[in-house]
Amino acid sequence: MSGVSPLTLNRLSLYLRCLQELGAEGVARISSTELAERFGLSASQIRKDLAQFGEFGIRGVGYEIVPLRSRLRSLLGLDRERGLVIVGVGSLGTALVRFPGFNRDGYRVVGLADSDPRLVGRMVDGKTVEPVAALGALVRRTGATLGVLAVPSAAAQGAYETLAAAGIGAVLNFAPTQIRALPGVPVKTVDLRIHLEELGFLMERPREGGRS
Amino acid sequence: MSGVSPLTLNRLSLYLRCLQELGAEGVARISSTELAERFGLSASQIRKDLAQFGEFGIRGVGYEIVPLRSRLRSLLGLDRERGLVIVGVGSLGTALVRFPGFNRDGYRVVGLADSDPRLVGRMVDGKTVEPVAALGALVRRTGATLGVLAVPSAAAQGAYETLAAAGIGAVLNFAPTQIRALPGVPVKTVDLRIHLEELGFLMERPREGGRS
DNA sequence: AGATGTGAATGAGTTCACAGCT
DNA sequence: AGCTGTGAACTCATTCACATCT
C-alpha cells in the first residue's frame, strides 16, 4: 500500500488545502463535483484518489469536510511535528527560513548551517547559523527529520551525504543538479530555473489568435 | 507540432544543462547511452525526446555537443533575452531577484513591484521597487515578457490579471493558490510546501535499515 | 561495428460510465 | 434522486527492439 504515485500525492496536498479553505468558510460537506468546479479539478479523479485510502464519502451526499481533512492530514504525516534543517543561508536559504509554508502545520525550521565562516554565528529569524562541519550534531540535537539544500550545485552532493549520515529522513534540494541518492534517504530536486524555461517555450507562439 | 509535453520539455532543459557541463569539460561528442549513464537518465528517452525536433545525432557516432546545445537553446527560446518582473518583494521575492537562475542565459530580472508603501522606492539588487499600481507601466517600460508572483495567495489572482492586461507573456506563481488563467497567458504554479509534504509521505517508514 | 531514429509493446495515469449505497 | 466507488476504455508516456545509416 506504499505504492502511491507522486502525482496522486501532490493532489492530496492540494485537496487538503481546498478543504482547509472550505472549512474556514464554514462549509460542512461537499460533493466531488462541486469541489472540482470550485477549484478547477477533475471530479472523477478526486474520487479515485480518495478511494485509494478507504471510503471517505457518503453516497448520495458527498464528503464531510472535517473528518476527511484530518484523515488527509494524518495520511500526509502532518499530524506529527517535523523539524527542518536548512543548509545554505544565502538569499534563497534565508527566504526559506521565514517561508510560511515551511513553518506551519507539521513543519518547522529548527536549524541552520552554512559553510561560510562569515555567516556562522549570525541569527536568522531567531535561529543561529551553525558551521556545516557541525551538521551531524545539529541534526541529532534538534531531531530534524528533513533537510533542505540551498547551497551551490558543487556543494550539494556533499551536504546531502552529511545529512544522510546524520540520520535525516529525506532531503529537498534546490541546487540545479542531480543528487545520487542513498538508499532510505529520498531526495527531491526543485529546479526553479526549469519552470522559467517551460514558460518560455509555451510563450513561443506569439501570433496565433492574437488580438489585432 | 506545438504539442510538446511538459515532461519532455523539462527534460530538454535538463539535457541542455548536462551538455553545458560536458562542454565545459571539453567533451566534443557523446552517445545517448553515455549521457544517460553519466547523469542518471534513460538513453532511449533521450533519443526519442531529441528526435521530435529533427535528426541531431550521427548514427554510429553520437551527438555533437556544440550544435546540439545551441539547437536546444534556441528551441527553449534562450537565445533571445527575456525580462522578468517580480511582484512581491518580501523574503521570497527578494531572494528571487538575486537568484542566479533568474539572471542568466536568456533571463534577467528587470523590474520589481510591491503593494506595501514601505517597500516602494527601496532598491533591491540595483532595481527600484515600484508600486503595484504602476505595474502596467513597468511592464511596458522594461519590455518584460515574464511575470513572477511572490505575493500572498489573496493577492495572486489580481496581480496575475494586471500582468496579463499589461501584455505579459506568461506568469510563474509562487503563491499556493490556483490561478484562473486567461487565454494566451499561461501560468505555472510552483508550490514549495507541496514538495515537503511529498517527502514527508515518502519518509513514512521510519525504522528500516536505520543506522545504529 | 556502433549508435541513431522509430514503430511496436508495455506501462502509467486519466476519464468514462454505471452499479450500488443513502 | 443523488453521489460515491470502481471496473473498463482510453489517452499519454516510457521502454524495447530493430531497421537504418555512418
Using the beta-carbon criterion (under 8 Å), do B99 and A92 form an inter-chain contact? Answer: yes
pLDDT averaged per 10 residues in sequence order, chain B, 212 residues: 87 97 96 96 98 95 97 95 98 98 97 98 98 96 98 97 96 96 95 97 58 30
pLDDT at position A205 is 55
Task: Tell me, yes or no, whether B29 and B96 share the same domain.
Answer: no
Chain A residues near residue B195 by CB distance under 8 angstroms: 172, 188, 190
Q: What is the mean predicted confidence (pLDDT) over A49-71?
A: 96
- Nucleotide in closest CA–C1' contact with A43: C15
Task: Say how far B37 CA is from D14 C1', in Å.
Answer: 17
Please say whether the beta carbons of A102 and A124 come within 8 A: no
Task: Tell me, yes or no, whether B59 and B153 share the same domain.
Answer: no
Q: Is residue B10 part of a domain?
A: yes
The number of beta carbons lying within 10 Å of the beta carbon of residue B113 is 27
Mutate to test the interface with B, among A18, A99, A109, A196 (most CBs of B within 10 A): A196
Given A17, A98, A192, which is nearest B101 (Cβ)? A192
Q: Is residue B210 part of a domain?
A: no
| Closest residue (Cα, C1') to C13 | A7
Q: Is residue B164 part of a domain?
A: yes
Strand order in the sheet with A127-131: A123-124, A127-131, A107-114, A82-87, A146-149, A170-173, A187-189
Q: Is residue A48 part of a domain?
A: yes
- In DSSP notation, A43-87 reads HHHHHHHHHTT---EETTTEEEHHHHHHHHHHHTT-SS-EEEEEE
| Overall domain count for chain B | 2
Q: Is residue B211 part of a domain?
A: no
Task: Tell me, yes or no, whether A60 and A89 share the same domain.
Answer: no
pLDDT at position A204 is 65
Q: What is the mean predicted confidence (pLDDT) over A147-170?
A: 97
Q: What is the largest CA-CA distance in chain A?
A: 63
Q: Is residue A211 part of a domain?
A: no
CATH number, domain of A28, equals 1.10.10.10
Domain stops at, among A16, A47, A75: A75
Task: Say how far B130 CA is from C11 C1', in Å.
Answer: 51
Domain that holds residue A60: 6-75
Task: Say how far B49 CA is from D18 C1', in Å.
Answer: 19
* Chain A interface includes B121 (CB < 8 A): no
Please say whether the beta carbons of B195 and B117 come within 8 A: no
C-alpha cell at A19: 478543504
Confidence of residue A2 (pLDDT cuts 50, 70, 90): low
Task: Tell me, yes or no, whether B167 and B94 share the same domain.
Answer: yes
Domain stops at, among B59, B75, B91: B75
pLDDT at position A161 is 97
pLDDT at position B99 is 98
Flag whether pLDDT at A65 surpasses 90: yes
pLDDT at position A25 is 95
Q: What is the mean predicted confidence (pLDDT) over A13-39?
A: 97
CATH number, domain of A156, equals 3.40.50.720
pLDDT at position A164 is 97
Question: Which residues, numbered 59 to 78 in chain B, qualify as contacts with chain A under a Cβ-Cβ cut-off of 8 Å?
Answer: 75-78
Q: Is residue A99 part of a domain?
A: yes
Percent of all residues in chain A with a pLDDT value above 70, rounded to a whole number: 95
A60 CB and strand D closer than 7 A: yes
B7 CB and strand D closer than 7 A: yes
Task: Tell me, yes or no, whether B34 and B129 share the same domain.
Answer: no
Task: Tell me, yes or no, whether A140 and A102 share the same domain.
Answer: yes
Q: d(Cα A173, Cα A92) in Å, to the nearest integer?
A: 12
- pTM for the model: 0.94
Task: Tell me, yes or no, whether B123 and B43 share the same domain.
Answer: no
Q: Is residue A167 part of a domain?
A: yes
Domain stops at, among B55, B75, B95: B75
Amino acid at B78: L
Task: Tell me, yes or no, whether A97 and A46 share the same domain.
Answer: no
